[in-house]
Structure 1
Amino acid sequence: MNNSNLKVLAIIPARGGSKSVPRKNIRPLNGKPLIAYTIETATKIKNRFYKIIVSTDDQEIAKISKKYGAEVPFIRPSE
């Protein structure tokens, strides 16, 4: 199989209830939420991924993720 024909899905896990640093995925760093940096990096190498999905249990993370170009097809149940 030729590697150029492979379709790769990027799944970014983003838990809402972090125990060590609460709400760290949406905390701002240099004017952007942390999750934005991960999504933007995945987007920059988009030719590697046919889709970028964020898997989260948090509505606010989902909203921010969509704003930065990721898909959030569902909200998972809390752990």
Structure 2
Amino acid sequence: RFDKSTFSAFLERNGSETACQLAKQYVQAFTEWQGESLWVWGEPGNGKTHLAAAITKTLTEQGYIVVFQSVPELL
């Protein structure tokens, strides 16, 4: 479902540039963040799911086990 959700495919919109940069920084410094959750929130259509999937894809490719769930799945 999210195979094409990568950082390079992310379409930056007004205000989403910062979110994309922070997501990339999270991946780059992941060993420092291990054991910590990452929450992503905001208005619909701003790319939250795409960025979360890009993080998941990148970390999985690096050999990490990642849990990817949406809020409705948790409720």
For this structure pair, what is the TM-score category when the shorter chain's length is used for normalisation? 0.3 to 0.5
TM-score with structure 2 length normalisation?
0.41
TM-score with structure 1 length normalisation?
0.40
Task: Indicate the structure with greater helix content.
Answer: 2
Task: Indicate the structure with greater strand content.
Answer: 1
Determine which structure has more spread, i.e. the larger CA radius of gyration: 1
Higher relative contact order at CA 8 Å, sep ≥6: structure 1 or structure 2?
2
